[in-house]
Structure 1
Amino acid sequence: MDNDEQRLESHNSISLSGKETKLLAYLMKNPGKAIESSILLDQGWYKDDEADETDLWIYISYLHQKLQAVNAHVTIAGEKGGPFTLSQLA
């Protein structure tokens, strides 16, 4: 992931939004760890932004699709409400 350019690359590349970049960067710093929704909400949104677990789920879904689109060797596991884990594909 290129944080500065907000781009995800593997076999090809795709653009990320600012929130997607923040969320994925945090997950990448904590691979294999189950991260609670509240922590990811703090990472992706400013405290004055009104965001909830549904908003987070939407962005996690976008990231999941984008990881698949670039044929990444990782995925984000978890159900709506969390926790979420960045893990290697088998």
Structure 2
Amino acid sequence: MRILLAEDERSLSRAVVALLEKHNYSADVVYDGEEALDYLEAGNYDALILDIMMPKLDGLEVLRRLRAAGNPIPVLLLTARSEIEDKVTGLDTGANDYLTKPFSTEELMARIRAITRSQTGGQLTSRLSLGNITLDQTTYELSSPHGSFRLANKEYQMMELLLRNPRQLISSERFFERIWGYDSEVELNVVWVYISYLRKKLAALQADIQIKATRNAGYSLEERP
């Protein structure tokens, strides 16, 4: 899952990005409202953490423009303001949730999980499942009745994307953009390498699903015949 952080306080933004990556998210950071809108035009983010007090465009104006354009991306407002009026304004403008600085890392991660869950077809738990395979989004464990593996960062993100889009073709380019990012210096064939890692784990778990490759199109998560 890829998150955009719009926060002009550099030390805080570095800490939040490190926290997100520790919890197996990919993250990009921008430092003003105009830059946030530019990044969001690419449409490759699953959630936005948005500070209210930013240069060029404040967070509320960014949020207004997003919602006016019909962009439904989940938004967590992050701000030093704690007054009830500010919270109400943010939520009425279209935010999904609101977190006041200073905050605990555990609460931040829980709120991110909550706002992204609400966008996944009514999913009410922290688990994604298909066939006899389950991915726990809090422990990062891929499991079946035959065992479990705790997935590393990139493996987890790829499996999560597949499970969020079962039976749908996902191109190598989409995997690369969502997980490694536009500025990555690694080669595109890294996607195939991680697909092979996941296939081995699914085989070890005696999965009744498989990652199917479609030539020149991409990969899809399918039930076995």
RMSD over aligned Cα atoms: 1.8
Letter matched to residue 7 of structure 1: E
Pairing 1:35–2:170 present: yes
Letter matched to residue 175 of structure 2: L
CA distance in 1, matches of 2:142, 2:215: 23
Aligned counterpart, 2:196:
61
Which of 192, 200, 205 aligns to 1:70? It is 205
Structure 1's consecutive aligned runs of 4 or more residues displaced over 6 angstroms after TM superposition are none
Identity across matched positions, percent: 30
| Matches for 1:1-90 after TM superposition, within 5 Å | 1-11=135-145, 12-78=147-213, 83-90=218-225
CA distance in 2, matches of 1:3, 1:18: 12
User: Structure 1: 5+ residue runs without aligned partners?
Assistant: none
The structure number with the bigger radius of gyration is: 2
Structure 1 residues 65, 82: CA separation in 2 closer, same or farther (over 3 Å shift)?
Answer: farther
CA distance in 1, matches of 2:140, 2:200: 16
TM-score (norm 1): 0.87
Structure 1 residues 51, 79: CA separation in 2 closer, same or farther (over 3 Å shift)?
Answer: farther
- The higher relative CO (CA closer than 8 Å, separation ≥ 6) is in 1
Which protein is richer in strand relative to its size? 2
Contact 1:74/1:87 (8 A) holds in 2: yes
Offset of 1:29 from its aligned partner?
1.1
CA deviation map 1:19-69 (0-9, x unaligned)? 111111111111111111110112221333223321111000000111111
* 2:211 alignment partner, SS class: strand
TM-score (norm 2): 0.37
Structure 1 residues 19, 6: CA separation in 2 closer, same or farther (over 3 Å shift)?
Answer: same
CA distance in 2, matches of 1:50, 1:71: 35
CA deviation map 1:4-27 (0-9, x unaligned)? 212100021012111111111111
Give aligned pairs, total. Answer: 90
